Amino acid sequence: MKKERKILKDKSILLGVTGGVAAYKSVDLIRRLREEGSSVTVIMTDAAKYFATSLSLEVASQNKVYSDLFSYPMAHINLPADADIMVIAPATANIIGKLANGIADNLLSTCFLSFRGKTVIAPSMNWRMYENPIFQENLRHLLSHGVVQVGPEKGSLACGEEGTGRMADIPDIIESIKASLSKKDLLNEKILITAGPTREYLDPVRFISNRSSGRMGYAIARAALRRGARVTLISGNSSLERPTGANFISVDTSADMLNAVNNEMDSSTVLIMSAAVSDFMPVKKSTNKIEKSGNLFLRLKLTPDIISGVGKKRTRPFIIGFAAESGERIKRAKKKLKEKNMDMIIFNNVTETGSGFDTDTNRVVIIDRKKETKLPLMSKNSVADAILDRLTEIRA
Q: Are 168 and 152 in contact (CB under 8 A)?
A: yes
Closer Cβ to ligand C5P, 227 or 336, answer by number: 336
Q: Closest approach of Cβ 194 to ligand C5P, in Å?
A: 6
What's the order of all strands across the beta sheet hosting 318-325? 247-250, 230-235, 190-195, 270-273, 318-325, 344-349, 364-368, 372-374
151 binds ligand C5P (CB under 6 A): no
306 binds ligand C5P (CB under 6 A): yes
Closer Cβ to ligand C5P, 60 or 307, answer by number: 307
Strand partners, 149: 121
349 binds ligand C5P (CB under 6 A): no
Calpha distance 18→95 (Å, rounded) = 7
Strand partners, 347: 323, 365
Q: Are 172 and 151 in contact (CB under 8 A)?
A: yes
3-state secondary structure of 272: strand
**3-state helix vs strand vs coil in the chain, percent to 5:** 35, 25, 40
21 binds ligand C5P (CB under 6 A): no
Quick one: which segment of 72-80, 126-134, 318-326, 352-360 binds ligand C5P (CB under 6 A)?
318-326
Among 76, 336, 363, 380, contact with ligand C5P (rule: CB under 6 A): 336
3-state secondary structure of 241: coil
Please pick, among 59, 134, 159, 290, the residue that the annotation labels catalytic: 159
Among 130, 207, 218, 322, contact with ligand C5P (rule: CB under 6 A): 322
Closer Cβ to ligand C5P, 83 or 276, answer by number: 276
Q: Are 92 and 19 in contact (CB under 8 A)?
A: yes
279 binds ligand C5P (CB under 6 A): yes
Among 303, 348, 355, 381, contact with ligand C5P (rule: CB under 6 A): 303
235 binds ligand C5P (CB under 6 A): no
Give the H or E element holding residue 366: strand 364-368
Among 275, 378, 386, 387, contact with ligand C5P (rule: CB under 6 A): 275
* Residue 111 bears catalytic tag: no
225 binds ligand C5P (CB under 6 A): no
Q: Are 345 and 322 in contact (CB under 8 A)?
A: yes
Quick one: which segment of 65-73, 80-88, 270-278, 353-361 binds ligand C5P (CB under 6 A)?
270-278
Measured CA angle at 155 (ends 154, 156), to 5 deg: 145
Q: Closest approach of Cβ 213 to ligand C5P, in Å?
A: 14
CA distances from 117 to 40, 78, 146, 320 (A): 16, 14, 10, 35
127 binds ligand C5P (CB under 6 A): no
Among 273, 337, 367, 387, contact with ligand C5P (rule: CB under 6 A): 273
Cβ contacts of 329 within 8 Å, gap of 6 or more: 323, 347, 349
Give the H or E element holding residue 324: strand 318-325
216 binds ligand C5P (CB under 6 A): no
Among 52, 122, 167, 277, contact with ligand C5P (rule: CB under 6 A): 277
Give the H or E element holding residue 277: none
256 binds ligand C5P (CB under 6 A): no
Phi, psi of 20 (to 5 degrees): -120, 160
215 binds ligand C5P (CB under 6 A): no
Q: Closest approach of Cβ 190 to ligand C5P, in Å?
A: 19
Q: Closest approach of Cβ 238 to ligand C5P, in Å?
A: 14
307 binds ligand C5P (CB under 6 A): yes
Number of residues that bind ligand C5P (CB under 6 A): 13
Which residues participate in catalysis according to the annotation? 159
**For binding to ligand C5P (CB under 6 A), which residues are involved?**
254, 273, 275, 277, 279, 303, 305-307, 321-323, 336
